Structure 1
Amino acid sequence: MNAPYLFGRFQLDPTTRQLLADGQPLALGARAFDVLLALIERRERLVTKDELLELAWPGLVVEENNLQVQISALRKLLGPQSIATIPGRGYRFTCGLDGDAASSPDKIVDVAPEAMAAAPVAVTPASQTDTKPWPVLAVAAALIFAVAGSAWLWSRREAPIDRSALKTEVAAADNKSIAVLPFTNMSEDKDAAYFADGVHEDLLTQLALIGELKVVSRTSVEEYRKTTKSARQIATELGVASLVEGSVRRSGNRVRITAQLIDARSDKHLWGNNFDRDLKDIFAIQSELATAIARALKVSLSPNDEARLARKPTENLAAYELLLRQKELKIRAINNLQTDFLEERIALLQRAVELDPKFALAWASLGAEHARASFQFLDRSAARLSLAEKAIERALQLAPDDIAVRSEAGIVLYYGRRDFARAAQYFEDLLHIAPNHVATLTVLSWLRNRQGRRLDSNALLERALAIDPRNIEAIATLVGNLAVFRHWDEARSLQRKLVELQPGDLDARCVLYMIEWQKNGSFAAYDAWRAALPAEAQRTSDQIRLMDVARAASRRDFDAVLRLFDARPNDDWDWLNPVPARAVVLLAKGERTRAFEVARSSLREASSGMQRQPDNLKWWWLSLINRAVLGEREAVLDGYRRLRARPDFGTDDNITQDIVFLEPELYALLGDREKALRTMAVLAKQPRFSSATSWRSTVSFASLWDDPRFLAIVNDPANNAPLPIVNQDPALIGK
């Protein structure tokens, strides 16, 4: 039996689930009780929002404001200072409990005010303390006043901060962990911001390649541009011990760079300097900056480190500026593969290598950009791939040992040749030199996913997040990996962190509800959230569009599905996911004539697409699905056999899953229920990108939805239970 917790005039009894004040029960809801009990039981530390949501609303997806409502209700009962807020992270119970401070009833404890504000207070169940002598009560009261005083002081800032939590967590950070905050552009020409950003990124990259340092990525520090947060708060959020701040002022052929290194644990300046020189000395300045920072952190530079830092990438400043402009456009790209402004970026790099044919990094970047164009089917021609390979070959001839060049060579193998094994070897070699390089860890994790090695991928992502805990790419990749093996609760917890990091991102929030739907098949939480959004939100959010279609399909509202199809942007492709082809929806509605007309039109589109891009899977999908609608059995089976004969089938895990999970859809549309259900029964037990639950919304299976055998598959708890996360050979998918 759990003993009651006593604090001041209050008593919380876990057994009777009551909160008493002066012996009288108070009106307290069940959720508020659970939140308070969780905070008291974890009194020695802050409790994250995610943890509280899991404890008070187990198995449910709820909005964070529900937690805020319960915290507000508790503060009204217990006093405004009873629960401290740690901004962006969670809460902490601050009241002293009876028996907190004295181990002996005869000992008077004298506590300094500073210690009282910072020291954690132990929580003691009432049954473990037979007497409550006055010294204990005095110390508890003093602690309450100290916390109240510090809360008043910090409330005068923009947000209250629990200083004791900050001290503990910053102190725990690795001494050689560092974040380089965005440099301020002090130039009169505000269009020169690309130059300041380029200097910042180059410095960050140079530091990240020093083996002993743990450097937070550019994407994670970007949110602190123009921040008003203190150095200590920033360091705590990023999980680092030190920060670099700086500014760049450029005027004509002169440049002034100011930088300082701050120990966030003590707010002391470890190092600082101003560099006011000719623009031609920019590379020497960057080298001196990186070297000085490393030495201030007591990092030993190897001869290779020193040689790399001293190396000038080019003698041509105009070519260097073109590279910086290309980097700026790449940063502005809004999609994961960074294809926005791609042709402009290629043009900038082409001009750079024309100005300096010996500029190895520009050649390497040019090769990687051409490879991205190939990977994203912007241009899959042999000529484009040849441009990528010639550019990277030239770069490697000029600088065979340059780390940045070799990194881009790995990208060319990944995106251009799709040679995942050789690409991975490049990035493994880089990690031997710079084991804490977050970008390399993340890209290698993507390659491991392609190879079916998600266990290895997760290990790499965990290494990256230990260095850079707010890295959105790493978190999102880990969420996907967990979902493949149906670890829904862990995936949901991490997705909540993404939502917290991107509070205005509708896609991130929607994925949270998508995970809940995949887990239990219910749209209830999504319905409540979606009702508060504008009806046209699906026009700007891919994930909302997917969920709206899945929801309508699951309710057999095929007219709504068609309306959502009509509302999609013309260039949008939601293929190989719960969104079906238009002909499939019409067939499910029973409008066979219209379904056949649309299918024939889609086939003409697919035929044209396959002529332009014969290895683009979406054209194969469109062709096979619509031939299945038309009942062209032999053509469908022959096409599917050829699809499985692709060279990347059985070697690329992503492609292989897409192809294997298409098979039961084709059989279902062809009316071969036995083969469709037999295939589904096998696939339901394997790791996959979507759960068996989602098959209730896959319109290709509409003819099976009422079949008892289909219902047995999707309702079997084992088919949606977590699977062991393992490395698997893509060739074994579906077997």
Structure 2
Amino acid sequence: MSSPDPSQKGLRFGEFEVDLESGSLFNRGVRVRLRAQLFKILSALLERPGEVVAREELQRRLWPGDTVVDFEINLNTLVARLREALGDSAARPRYIETLPKRGYRFLADVSERPAPEAAPPRRVRIAVLPFVNVGGDPAEEYFGDAMTDEIITALCRIAPRELAVIARTTVIHYKRSDKDVAQIGRELDVSHVVEGAVRRDGDRVSMSVQLIQAADQTHVFAQKYEAEMRAIFEAVNDAASDIAGHIAGPAVPENEPGGRTAGGRHLRKPTEDPVAYNEYIQARHEMGKFRPESFGTARRQLERAVALDPEFALAHNALAEIDWLLGYLGYIEPRKAFSDGIMRALRALEIDGSRAETHALLGSFHKAVEYNWPGVRREIAIALRLDPASPLVRLHYAISELMPHGRVEEAIFEIQQALDPDPLSLLTQGWLGIMLVLAHRWDQALDQGRLLLELYPGELWGHFVNMVAYRGMRLLEKSAAAGRAAVKASGEAASQIGWLGLTLGLGGKTAEARSLLERLHTRAAQGYVPPTSFAWIHLGLGETDAAFGWLDRAVDACDQYMMPIKSYEFFDPIRSDPRFLALLRKMNLEP
């Protein structure tokens, strides 16, 4: 392995690029936040890839002169943090190998980054706060949320290299907040904030927008936009172009397929039918509630939207999202949900093939329906090429490509990157907790569980993460208590009953575990129950043969709770069983 020219300012390894001059690390063009000491370690390893860099050499670089620290503990901690930033694992390293008592070695190939590819500039971080509905009709609240979402989407497309826009699922938490702009700016680490108000009067829409500098709350510009509903997208794009122009300057990105991108030049309209659009934005409002009954309402609204406009790609995509979520969470039979969803995603891409999120969703369907890993990789690669900064794309990459293959540390890295523009997303924060328990980082998982309960006290995610973490630590009484809370918060979901039964069985509470098993059999006579729910309880009770029967059914049914098969700690006692290897082969996974 040849060493790179130390005079070069830019290096590349894996999906990462390093700017040595500025001390910056990028993952597919997106900046990775790295402390100065971590960058010093990375630089030392990159100077001599394939060679051992002694611990003493790193000590001299990090703590020169007479600096007094506990060298051994501090260096170990820093290397662990660097591995986290790279999505690497000490047990199965891709980048940094530990040589006990000697030092560290960088394993990956390192190349010089071609000179024309300058390091991406730091993007300006901006948050678009929920628009206020000044019409006074509570039934019109969804319209203000929709305009917020449209401005966010337009900004992301107009200036993707210049602006880092905080996602809707985070800014929605500031709806009706009494916090001032300066505090919001600090909490979200943004330099600019957009505030807005919208009024709909019949077919007329009036939208007021103001751009504020967060640090000193200085108003940069304010403008009012008016349009009929059929021209609402032009008004949105004009507003977004004005916002981007005041922050990023007059430079205009290249045109995108199907629409213009800035300076008054318009993006692709999602639909020409205002009635279909109204159905769509009401459906997105319902989907944001993240409840099975709300998904049912949203599905009916979206079906009306595509009936009105069969070329409405976003509505087809949203229907595919509903199929994905309900099938994944086990509320409906997954094979049917995913078969329907994959057709909707393909239809959305047939209409508009430029949407990264739809490609990522299609990749996830390839995993779910037929364990088609080449199909997953192909679609995720397209999505990452189209929009490497999309938090939803990174989440799909973590869940659908990395996690099933046991690449959990990399998945944690991707989810942490997804949280940068969307730090308050329930789905993403919840998945971070799940990945931490799959990585057996029990203490960190408990911290994440506490955060989830603080951010979303009425949701099941925090209780679920705590249950699994306590079970991994063999604190089975605490695990059972958290599991009961998760069952209650989920509305007695069958999947959560199964997880609780696993803990109860392992904890010797046989009668209670069997009573849960009976509840599941009764429910299965009335509707779908994930086969894993039965398998978990049988495993907890030590009934291995029965468990394998249900696990085999779970693979056939595309039960998504089987996807972390390589990482579940409770599978360790049965991994050498030929029946377990057969399950892996059935899922097209290497043993």
SS at match of 1:177: strand
Matches of residues 503-522 of structure 1 in structure 2 within 5 Å? 504-505=457-458, 517=470
Question: Which string of whole-angstrom CA distances, capped at 9 and with x for unpartnered residues, describes residues 108-159 of structure 1?
Answer: xxxxxxxxxxxxxxxxxxxxxxxxxxxxxxxxxxxxxxxxxxxxxxxxxxxx
Q: Which amino acid aligns with 2:295?
A: L
Q: Are 1:356 and 2:356 matched, yes or no?
A: no
Give the match for residue 302 of structure 1: 253
Q: Are 1:199 and 2:152 matched, yes or no?
A: no
Q: Contact conserved, 1:482 with 1:490, CA < 8 A, in 2? A: yes
Question: Which string of whole-angstrom CA distances, capped at 9 and with x for unpartnered residues, describes residues 580-607 of structure 1?
Answer: 5999999857x9xx97xx7996796598
Q: Contact conserved, 1:371 with 1:415, CA < 8 A, in 2? A: no
Matches of residues 447-466 of structure 1 in structure 2 within 5 Å? 447=400, 448-466=402-420
SS at match of 1:290: helix
Residue correspondences, number = 452
Give the match for residue 533 of structure 2: 618
Structure 1 residues 522 and 196: alpha-carbon distance in aligned structure 2, compared to 1, 3 A threshold:
same
Matches of residues 167-206 of structure 1 in structure 2 within 5 Å? 176-206=124-154
Equivalent position to 2:384, from 408, 431, 435: 431
Q: Which amino acid aligns with 1:238?
A: L
Identity of aligned residues (%): 21
Structure 1 residues 418 and 235: alpha-carbon distance in aligned structure 2, compared to 1, 3 A threshold:
farther
Give the match for residue 275 of structure 2: 318
Matches of residues 571-582 of structure 1 in structure 2 within 5 Å? 572-580=494-502
Distance, in Å, in 2 between the alignment partners of 1:317 and 1:183 is: 20
Matches of residues 399-414 of structure 1 in structure 2 within 5 Å? 399-403=352-356, 405-410=358-363, 412-413=365-366
Q: Are 1:286 and 2:236 matched, yes or no?
A: yes
Distance, in Å, in 2 between the alignment partners of 1:649 and 1:506 is: 22
Q: Which amino acid aligns with 1:661?
A: F
Matches of residues 227-246 of structure 1 in structure 2 within 5 Å? 227-246=177-196
Question: Which string of whole-angstrom CA distances, capped at 9 and with x for unpartnered residues, describes residues 437-495 of structure 1?
Answer: 22322232222223322122122123223444444443333333233333334334444
Structure 1 residues 401 and 281: alpha-carbon distance in aligned structure 2, compared to 1, 3 A threshold:
same
Distance, in Å, in 1 between the alignment partners of 2:519 and 2:460 is: 29
Q: CA deviation at 1:273?
A: 1.0
Structure 1 residues 304 and 430: alpha-carbon distance in aligned structure 2, compared to 1, 3 A threshold:
farther
Distance, in Å, in 2 between the alignment partners of 1:645 and 1:382 is: 10
Structure 1 residues 500 and 456: alpha-carbon distance in aligned structure 2, compared to 1, 3 A threshold:
same
Q: Are 1:487 and 2:437 matched, yes or no?
A: no
Equivalent position to 2:432, from 466, 473, 478: 478
Q: CA deviation at 1:286?
A: 1.1
Q: Contact conserved, 2:327 with 2:338, CA < 8 A, in 1? A: yes
Q: CA deviation at 1:232?
A: 1.1
Q: Which runs of 5+ in 2 are unaligned?
A: 1-120, 581-587
Give the match for residue 557 of structure 1: none
Structure 1 residues 199 and 333: alpha-carbon distance in aligned structure 2, compared to 1, 3 A threshold:
same
Q: Contact conserved, 2:208 with 2:225, CA < 8 A, in 1? A: yes
Q: Which amino acid aligns with 1:333?
A: F
Q: CA deviation at 1:186?
A: 0.9
Structure 1 residues 227 and 429: alpha-carbon distance in aligned structure 2, compared to 1, 3 A threshold:
same
Q: Radius of gyration: which is bigger? A: 1
Give the match for residue 398 of structure 1: 351
Q: Contact conserved, 1:367 with 1:389, CA < 8 A, in 2? A: yes
Question: Which string of whole-angstrom CA distances, capped at 9 and with x for unpartnered residues, describes residues 601-639 of structure 1?
Answer: 679659858xx769733345567888x76xxx9x64873
Structure 1 residues 247 and 415: alpha-carbon distance in aligned structure 2, compared to 1, 3 A threshold:
farther
Q: Contact conserved, 1:174 with 1:240, CA < 8 A, in 2? A: no
Give the match for residue 263 of structure 1: 213
Q: CA deviation at 1:255?
A: 0.5
Q: Contact conserved, 1:184 with 1:247, CA < 8 A, in 2? A: yes
Q: Contact conserved, 1:247 with 1:259, CA < 8 A, in 2? A: yes
SS at match of 2:311: coil
Structure 1 residues 651 and 419: alpha-carbon distance in aligned structure 2, compared to 1, 3 A threshold:
farther
Give the match for residue 483 of structure 2: 546
Question: Which string of whole-angstrom CA distances, capped at 9 and with x for unpartnered residues, describes residues 209-234 of structure 1?
Answer: 44222111222212211222221110
Distance, in Å, in 2 between the alignment partners of 1:184 and 1:499 is: 28
Q: Contact conserved, 1:620 with 1:643, CA < 8 A, in 2? A: no
Q: Which amino acid aligns with 1:250?
A: R
Q: Contact conserved, 1:181 with 1:246, CA < 8 A, in 2? A: yes
SS at match of 1:310: coil
Higher deviation after alignment, 277-286 or 470-479: 470-479
Distance, in Å, in 1 between the alignment partners of 2:484 and 2:518 is: 27
Structure 1 residues 637 and 358: alpha-carbon distance in aligned structure 2, compared to 1, 3 A threshold:
closer
Give the match for residue 686 of structure 1: none
SS at match of 2:272: coil
Give the match for residue 66 of structure 2: none
Give the match for residue 20 of structure 1: none
Distance, in Å, in 2 between the alignment partners of 1:243 and 1:679 is: 55
Q: Contact conserved, 1:368 with 1:411, CA < 8 A, in 2? A: no
Distance, in Å, in 1 between the alignment partners of 2:326 and 2:561 is: 22
Q: Which runs of 5+ in 1 are unaligned?
A: 1-172, 527-541, 550-563, 665-675, 684-728
Give the match for residue 298 of structure 2: 345
Equivalent position to 2:570, from 636, 661, 682: 661
Distance, in Å, in 2 between the alignment partners of 1:182 and 1:445 is: 29
Give the match for residue 37 of structure 1: none
Q: Contact conserved, 1:606 with 1:620, CA < 8 A, in 2? A: no
Q: Contact conserved, 2:360 with 2:380, CA < 8 A, in 1? A: yes
Distance, in Å, in 1 between the alignment partners of 2:509 and 2:521 is: 19
Q: CA deviation at 1:433?
A: 3.2
Equivalent position to 2:549, from 639, 653, 662: 639
Structure 1 residues 268 and 380: alpha-carbon distance in aligned structure 2, compared to 1, 3 A threshold:
same
Give the match for residue 64 of structure 1: none
User: Under a length normalisation based on structure 1, what TM-score does the superposition of the two structures give?
Assistant: 0.52
Equivalent position to 2:289, from 323, 328, 332: 332
Distance, in Å, in 1 between the alignment partners of 2:468 and 2:551 is: 33
Structure 1 residues 412 and 251: alpha-carbon distance in aligned structure 2, compared to 1, 3 A threshold:
farther
